Chains A and B, each alone.
Chain A
Amino acid sequence: MIGCYVTGALPRSSELIRKTRAYERGRINKKELEESFEKATESATKAQISAGLDYITDGMLKWQDLFRPFTENLKGVKMGSLTRWFNNNTFYRKPIITDYVKREEDVVNNMMQLEKLPKNLSWKAILPAPYTFVSLSENQFYKDKAEFMFKFAEVINEEIKSLAERGFSYIQLSEPALVYEPLAPKFKKDKLALVNDVLETAVKGTTTKTCLQTFFGDFSKISPQALDFPVDHLGIDLYETDFEKLKEYSFEKGVALGLVDSRSSLVEEQDELVAVAEEIVEAIYRSRVEEVFICPNCDLDFLPLEKAEEKMKVISTVTKRLREEFP
C-alpha cells in the first residue's frame, strides 16, 4: 500500500500571520485571533484533502514549536529561553524540568480543532518523541536522564491513547535529535537500545498506527538497530540520508519517505522523485513491499503557504504514480 501525508506543522497563511502580529501589538483581542486560527485550520485541512492526502492533520497552526503544548501544560516543566531549532533559522522555547513531570490533563487537545477534521477520512496527529524532547530540554531535576525519558514516554503513551479515543488512527513521533548529531558521527549501540525500550513504553497498549519520523539527519546512521524499533513505520529524511547506505538495509516495517524538501522552496520534479522512490523501495524490500508513505522530510512551515501547498500536490501525484508501479 502506498499513501501520503504531511509530517509536521503547516505554514500560517499571510492573513493569519497578519492577525497574530496584530494580536501581539494589541490591535485585536484573543477572540478575534481564535477566529482567525479556526478559519486557517479549516483551510489547512481542506488543502490536505484537495491535494489528496490519505491522512489529514489539523495543520498544527497554533503550535509555537513541537514541544510547546508539553512545555505549557505538563506539571514540572517550565518555559525556558529561545534556543535554535537544530540547524535552522528558527527557535523554540527550551523546556526546563524543575520537578517530577506529571500529566494532569490532556496536553495537546486544547491545541487541536477536531471539528475541523473531515469525518470520512483518517486522522493523523504528531507528537515529540521522548528522546528528542529529553535531549532538547534542560533537566534540572532528574538525576538519571533515562528515568526522565521513560517518564516522558509514559506521558506520550497516555496522549496517544487519548488521541485514539478522539478518533486519531495514526500517530507520528517526531525524532530529529536521534539522527541530528553533526559533531558526533558515531551512534552508540547502547543509546539505541535505550531508545528502543523508551519507545516500547511510549506505544505500549496503543491501537493506532505509529511512526517514528526522523529528520535533519541520516537514518542510515541509526541502522540496523532502528529497523527493529517497536513502531509500525520508520520515517526517513532523504535530504539528509545517504541513499547508497540506506539501500544496503533490508526493511520489514513500513517507511515514510521524506521525498519532498520542506527546507527548500524549489518545487521538485515529479519524474525524479518517482525514480528515487522506486529505487529505494526496490532496494529495501527484498521479499515483499510493506506500507510506504510519501511525505515531506519535515514540517512544511519552513515555507510560505503557497509553496507548501504546491509541495503537498507533488507528494500526492508522486504517490499516485507509485501506486501504479507497486499495486
Chain B
Amino acid sequence: MNKFFPTQEVGSLAKPRWRIKGYRGKPLSKEEIAEAVSWGRKLGIENLEELVKLLSEGDSASRKGALLEWSAKYAIRFFETAGLDIVFDGEQWRSEMYEHVIRKTTGFKFLGNVKSFDYRYFNKAACIEKPKYAKSFYLDEFLFTKENTEREIKVPFTGAYTLVDWTFNEYYEKKFSGEIMDFKRRKFEAKREFLFDLIKEVIRPEISKLVDAGAKWVQIDEPAATTNPADEEMKLFVESFNETVKGFNCIFSLHNCYSNYEVLANHACELRNCSQLSLEFANRDSRQVGTGNARTGYKAIELFEEHSFKGNYGLGVVDVHSNFVEPPELVRDRILHVVKTIGDPSRIYVSPDCGLRTRTWETSFQKLKNMVLGAALARKALE
C-alpha cells in the first residue's frame, strides 16, 4: 500500500435475516424483504428487483446458490462503502469457520453438541480416518469476490492447528495405541500426525487452488493458537503455520484473538512468511482519547516488539463485542499510540479486533466508517 494505515476487515460479518431464512427455505416477511431493499439502496446494489423476486420465490438449490451470491455481494459492497482498502465477502458462504471446512472434507464425522459455556454448545467432529480433500471450500467464494471488487482481497482461512484442536482425534489415537504406551506422549504424537496430514492433504491443496486462481493474500485464522501454552505445543503450532505457507507465492498473515499474547509473542518471530499479525486490543482499552497512559489495552504490543517481531500489525482498534461506536478521534489515538510504541507507521494496518458477526449491520457499518475516518485522522496527524 502506498499510504500509511490501510484499513481492513478481519473476516465474518453478520448474515442478514433474508439470507439466513431464505437459505433455509423459510418464507420472508415484508419487513425482511424491505430490509434487503433498504440496505441494497444504501449500498448502491444494482438490479434490486431481481433480488426481491428471488426472495419471494419458493426454495430450490439454485435459489440457495443465488442467495449466497447476493449476500456476498452485499457484504463486499458493505465493506467498500464503509471505505475499507482491503476486503472480502464477510464469510457469507460459510456456516461458521469450523464446520464449513470439516463438512467439505473426507475423514470426519460430527458427533453432536458439546459444551462451550453456559447454554452455548458447538457441534464437534471426530477424525475417523485419514483426512482427504473432497472439494474446494474457499475457492468459489474467492472467485466471486474477485469478480465483484476492484479492492485488494484478503482471504480468511481457518488454520489447521485450530481445526485439529477443535476435533476429536480418534483415527490417530487409535493408530498409535499399540506403538506408544505413555498416554500423554501418544496423544501428542497422534495430534502431530493428524495436523501434518491435514495440512498436506487438505489445507495446502486449497491454498494452492486459491493462489492459482489469483489470491495474493491469505489470512490464517488460528483462535486456538495459544490454547495449549506449553512450549512443545507452541512449537507445534509454529511448525504447522510454517508448513502451511511454505513455498507459496502469496502473502500470509495470522489472525489470533482472545488469546494469551504473552505466549504468542514468545514465538511470533519464529513464524516464517507471516507478513502481518492481526491482533485484538480495543476490547481491553479505555475509551478516553489520547495516547500514552490512556491506552491501557495496547500494552501487549510491547511484548511482540520486545521479542523482535519485525512484521506488520493488523491493529484491532474497534471492539467487536460492544455496540459502542468508537469515535474517529479514539481510533486515531489508538493508532498514534502504537506508532509511538513501535516507531514505524508503515507497519500498521487498521482493523476491527475480530470478525463483526455478532453486531448488527447498522452498528458494524458505523464502527467501520469511524475506523476509516480515524485512520485518515492519524495519517493527517503524521503529515
Contact = CB atoms under 8 A, between A and B. Distances in A.
B182 A266 contact: no
A89 interface: yes
Given A64-B117, A65-B117, A92-B117, A243 B181 contact: yes
A12 B115 CA distance: 8
B77 to A, nearest CB: 31
Given A183-B229, A238-B183, A301 B115 contact: yes
A307 interface: yes
A113 interface: no
B113 A17 contact: yes
Nearest to B223: A89
A242 B182 contact: yes
A24 B182 contact: no
B117 A242 contact: no
A290 interface: no
A244 B184 CA distance: 12
A269 B111 contact: no
B114 A242 contact: no
Given A87-B229, A239-B187, A264 B170 contact: yes
A97 B118 CA distance: 21
Contact of B227 (A88, A238, A261): A88
Interface in A257-293: 261, 264-266, 269, 272, 276
Contact-residue bracket for chain B = 20 to 34
Given A182-B228, A266-B170, A269-B177, A307 B183 contact: no
Interface in B33-88: none
**Of listed B112, B165, B227, B228, residue having the most chain A CB within 10 A:** B112
A302 interface: yes
Given A183-B229, A264-B168, A14 B117 contact: no
B111 A307 contact: yes
B227 A265 contact: no
B230 to A, nearest CB: 4
B112 A306 contact: yes
A239 B184 contact: yes
Contact of A82 (B117, B124, B181, B263): B117
A93 B116 CA distance: 12
B227 A266 contact: no
B365 interface: no
A64 B118 contact: yes
Nearest to B111: A304
**Of listed B113, B115, B187, residue having the most chain A CB within 10 A:** B115
Contacts of B121: 17, 21
A261 B117 CA distance: 20
A20 B119 contact: yes
Contacts of A261: 183, 187
A302 B114 contact: yes
Interface string A197-232: 000000000000000000000100000000000000
A84 interface: yes
A265 B126 CA distance: 7
A250 interface: no
Interface in B252-307: 263
A64 B124 CA distance: 19
Contacts of A305: 112
Contacts of A264: 168-170, 173, 187
A265 B111 contact: yes
A89 B187 contact: no
Contacts of A238: 183
B227 A84 contact: yes
Given A264-B170, A265-B126, A87 B182 contact: no
B168 A265 contact: yes
A32 B318 CA distance: 40
Contacts of A241: 184
B170 A304 contact: no
Interface string A42-56: 000000000000000
Contact of B170 (A93, A242, A265, A302): A265
Given A21-B119, A242-B184, A264-B187, A89 B166 contact: yes
B114 A11 contact: yes
A303 B117 contact: no
A300 to B, nearest CB: 10
A183 B112 CA distance: 33
A90 B168 CA distance: 14
B130 interface: no
B229 A89 contact: no
Nearest to A92: B117
A278 to B, nearest CB: 13
A241 B233 CA distance: 16
A14 B113 contact: yes
Given A243-B181, A306-B112, A266 B117 contact: no
Interface string B167-182: 0111001100100011
Interface in B190-244: 224, 227-231, 233
Contacts of A17: 113, 121
Contacts of B166: 89
Contacts of B113: 14, 17, 304
Given A261-B183, A265-B168, A90 B126 contact: no
A91 interface: yes
Contacts of A88: 227
Contacts of B170: 264-266
Contacts of B231: 182
A276 B181 CA distance: 9
27 contacts: A11-B114, A17-B121, A21-B121, A23-B119, A24-B119, A64-B118, A89-B165, A90-B117, A91-B117, A92-B117, A93-B118, A182-B231, A218-B184, A239-B183, A240-B184, A242-B182, A243-B183, A244-B182, A264-B170, A264-B187, A265-B111, A265-B168, A266-B173, A276-B183, A301-B115, A304-B113, A304-B114
Given A14-B113, A239-B184, 8 more contacts: A87-B229, A89-B116, A242-B184, A264-B187, A265-B168, A266-B126, A304-B112, A306-B112
Interface of B: 111-119, 121-122, 124, 126, 165-166, 168-170, 173-174, 177, 181-184, 187, 224, 227-231, 233, 263
Closest A-B pairs by Cβ, 10 of them: A182-B230, A265-B168, A304-B112, A91-B117, A20-B119, A266-B170, A87-B228, A239-B183, A265-B126, A266-B173
